[in-house]
Amino acid sequence: MTRIKVGVLASGRGTNLQAIIDASESGKIDADIVVVISDKKDAYALERAKKHGIPAYFVDPKGKSREEHEKEIDEILRKYNVDLVVGAGYMRILSPWFIRRWYGKIINIHPALLPSFKGTDGQGDALRYGVKITGCTTHFMDELPDHGPIILQAAVKVKDDDTRDSLAERILKVEHQLLPRTIQLFAEGRLKIEGRRVKILPGDSWKEKYETYPDVLYCEGY
Ligand code: GAR
């Protein structure tokens, strides 16, 4: 099977990036991470990329319009012939211009069960709201933040004594499963967008192949 080329956008410490680098290097996914781009100069995600010999770019948003900033990002992604763009903790809203250029080839991971708790603190917002179950979601990006067609979801229980960080930590472990699985489904050509719904074409199941957490509910397609 031919391997797809993935470009990653990340603003932070990059544990999701690490999960997909590891999945790529171990052959769990038919994808190579060919470039990592950050809007934050000191994002640890850039260090992680360098450690694995992956080109890492800081694209400074300062003094630029959103489109100017994104044009630079777009040029880098095209230079590396990226097949799929992955938002892995990228905390900047992308413009309709950028999204239209990549629609169907740009995905994101969010630490809540969308459409609940969009935004930059999905875990804290879920805890404060008092939900008993939250989780994480991968989705195709569209012109509205945290809104595009949903690919995979997994549900995580909120415990009585959870803090924002303990909950975030449990969700993160599941994110590290969902994101590589989503990339693999894309690489296998098994994701079909039908309006708001994403049909997952038949094939293998990671539930049967790899470890899962007994108290997490994984959606069909995982
Ligand atoms: C992850 O929890 C990701 O879901 C979240 O940021 C974190 C990045 O962690 N993304 C969002 O909240 C997007 N709205 P990481 O840098 O360790 O991968």
Q: Which of 117, 172, 176 to mutate to test the pocket of ligand 1 (most atoms within 8 A of CB)?
A: 172
pLDDT reported for residue 43:
98
Q: How far is the CA of 89 from the centre of ligand 1 (A)?
A: 4
Whether residue 124 contacts residue 132, with contact meaning beta carbons closer than 8 Å, is answered with: no
- 156 CB burial (10 A radius; 0-12, 13-18, 19+): buried
Cα 169 to Cα 115: distance, rounded to the nearest angstrom: 21
Catalytic residue among 52, 69, 110, 147: 110
> Is the minimum distance from the CB of 33 to ligand 1 under 6 angstroms?
no
Q: How far is the CA of 186 from the centre of ligand 1 (A)?
A: 20
Q: Three-state SS across the chain?
A: CCCEEEEEECCCCCHHHHHHHHHHHCCCCCEEEEEEEECCCCCHHHHHHHHCCCCEEECCCCCCCHHHHHHHHHHHHHHCCCCEEEECCCCCCCCHHHHHHHCCCEEEEECCCCCCCCCCCHHHHHHHHCCCEEEEEEEECCCCCCCCCEEEEEEEECCCCCCHHHHHHHHHHHHHHHHHHHHHHHHCCCEEEECCEEEECCCCCHHHHCCCCCCCEECCCC
Place of tokens 């010999």: 53
Q: How far is the CA of 111 from the centre of ligand 1 (A)?
A: 7
118 CA closest ligand 1 atom index = 14
Chain segment 45-55, per-residue pLDDT in tens: 999 999 999 99
pLDDT reported for residue 1:
76
pLDDT reported for residue 32:
98
Chain segment 200-221, per-residue pLDDT in tens: 999 999 999 999 999 999 999 9
Torsion 166-170-175-176 (CA) sign: positive
pTM equals: 0.98
110 CA closest ligand 1 atom index = 4
Cα 29 to Cα 155: distance, rounded to the nearest angstrom: 23
Q: Which of 37, 39, 109 to mutate to test the pocket of ligand 1 (most atoms within 8 A of CB)?
A: 109
Low-confidence ranges of the chain (pLDDT < 50): none
Question: For the chain, what's the residue count?
Answer: 222
145 CA closest ligand 1 atom index = 14
Whether residue 140 contacts residue 198, with contact meaning beta carbons closer than 8 Å, is answered with: yes
| Total domains, the chain | 1
Tell me which residue has its CA closest to atom 6 in ligand 1: 89
Chain segment 166-178, per-residue pLDDT in tens: 999 999 999 999 9
> Is the minimum distance from the CB of 7 to ligand 1 under 6 angstroms?
no
Write the CATH number for 57.
Answer: 3.40.50.170
Is 176 annotated in the active site? no
Q: Which domain holds residue 170?
A: 4-218
